[in-house]
Structure formats: C-alpha cells, structure tokens
Structure 1
C-alpha cells in the first residue's frame, strides 16, 4: 500500500422514497474533531430532521471508523453508509445522511436501500483523489543548508507539515512511502542535517 483514495471537496445529494427525504452530505475529514465539527454544522442546518445518521473512515490505513444509526433500526443506516464509503475504497471521508420522515414506514430493507443509494449518489458527485501514503520525519538543520534541504524535499514530492525557520531550523515532512528509501539516502548525504522519525 503506497497510495490511498479520498475526496477533497464537499457535496450534497438528495434522495426521496415514499415521502421521506434523505439528504446526503460528504466531507473530507482528517480527525475525529473534524467529524464532530461537520456533524454539528449539519445538525444546525437541519434541526428539525428526524435522524442525522453518519459513518466515517479515517487514516491512510482506514483503521479508524464509526457508523451511527441515530435512532434508526440497528444496522439500517450507519452500516450501509459505511459500506458505500468502503466500496469506493475511500478514507478520510465522512458522510452524514439527514432524514426527514415522510409519514410512511420504509421498513429495514427500505431504509438500508435509502441510506445506501443517497450515499452512493453523493459520492458519485465527487471525484476520488489519489494521495501518497507518507512516512513522517523531523529534519533539524542549520539555516546555511536550507537550499540543499528544500531541493531534496521538492524533488521527492515530500509534504511540508510544519516548519520553524530561524538560524536553526526544524521541519516536519511527509515522505511518500514509495520513494522513502531514495529520499532518505539523499537527505543523509546532506552534511549537518539531522533526520528523525516523527512519532
């Protein structure tokens, strides 16, 4: 695994079934805190909705996830939403489906279908983006070798996560896993540069 797929835009889609209205919102998220903020935003936008069901998957390995039925019958909402995120092999994604009850009971199969379809619809609106899985390192160096360091960082498509540039510089970078070995060799060639894995 050297790459993962995610989304970089938000979108909304609407699905109707026997009077019930389902509004699906997709958000790119990186942390459980971001998930909470997006959920709050949707709840504030739809305070009168019957349910705010959601699912998310986080992390390049996709190990952090959660599915919530928010009062719908167990397994009828959160699981189908997560199932659609997984069928597209996405991570760092949150989908919230807001339901306005229309007076007709849909039954569990109907609910599963409605949450599944509305999630599929919203995810179709956003092209998946491929990102490199990165290994994080901290670089510590003297300002005089800044150019050499930046050259290697740029040529190896590293992401600068944080930097503190003074006479002595600290820089946290993400090195694409696929090119980690080569990049490390080049960094170790720079005299006076200290490289440590970031925990």
Structure 2
C-alpha cells in the first residue's frame, strides 16, 4: 500500500467481530498481525455487550491518549479563561492500574493503562492514591475515594459519567449535601 486511497480500498471498515480472528492471534502472542510487532498493551473492556473484548494499544498510540486529555484541559482554559483549577486536587476515577501479563503483553482497563502515562506535572495533585485505585470492588473503591477526598480542595474530576455521578452521590450522602 502506497497511500490513503490504497489503504481505504484494501482495508474495509470492520467491527470488532470482523477483527476478532486477528485479535485472537495477537492475544495468543503472534506479532505483525494488525500492527508491526506486538502491541504494548491490551485494553480489556468490561464485556457488557457480547463479552470481553481486547483492544490492542501500540506504543505509538499511548501519547495520543495523553494528548487528548491535555487538549481537553487546554480547550477548557482557552474557552473560559479559567486555569486556577490546576492549583487544587484532581480526581481521576479510573479502573485499576494493576496490569496482568499474557504472552508478554500487559492487559488492563484503558483508564488503568493510561494512568501509567500521566505526566509528572499532573501527578502531584492527583487523587485517589494508588492504594485506593487498586481496589477492585467499585462500591468499596468509591467509598474509599470519598474518604480520601472529602477534606481536600478538589477542583477537577474526570471519569465516565456513571462513575462521576456515583462519586457525587456518595459524597452528598456522607456530607449531607454540604460539599
């Protein structure tokens, strides 16, 4: 393939099921199937629709996840003129950063994988702690996050909407709605 047009003609749009035979080969340890070499990680989905899925993440793709988050923050600052939130604590509601290894490839939740690549300038104000982040039971984890953050100057929260809602519900329950 020489260019985008060649790629478009030779590589049709696929859903996960269409790619699954190739992904299965990569999960089994075969290289050079969907990308040159082997992926750096597999992001494991929760399996809510048609079972667990493994999404290969290349070394080259990891900076793009961080850039997307950085660009969202910079866009907010540009649009509102407000940047003082960076002086407070930031909550990142995420999956566990603990990774498992299969055939030499790290496997985990995407948010847990990305946590390993958060820039140092964001680490100092970041909550919850690693110890809290590795709690597997989500109810217990959110309770621990509330305890860890209740007396902090929290200025930013990031996570999927149901997790953020659950955090705020538990925080309101704990404080009587005063925080």
TM-score normalised by L of structure 2: 0.23
Which of these two proteins has the greater Rg computed from alpha carbons? Answer: 1
Structure (1/2) with the larger helix percentage: 2
- The higher-RCO structure (CA 8 Å, 6+ apart) is 1
TM-score by length of structure 1 reads 0.21
The structure that is strand-richer by fraction is 1
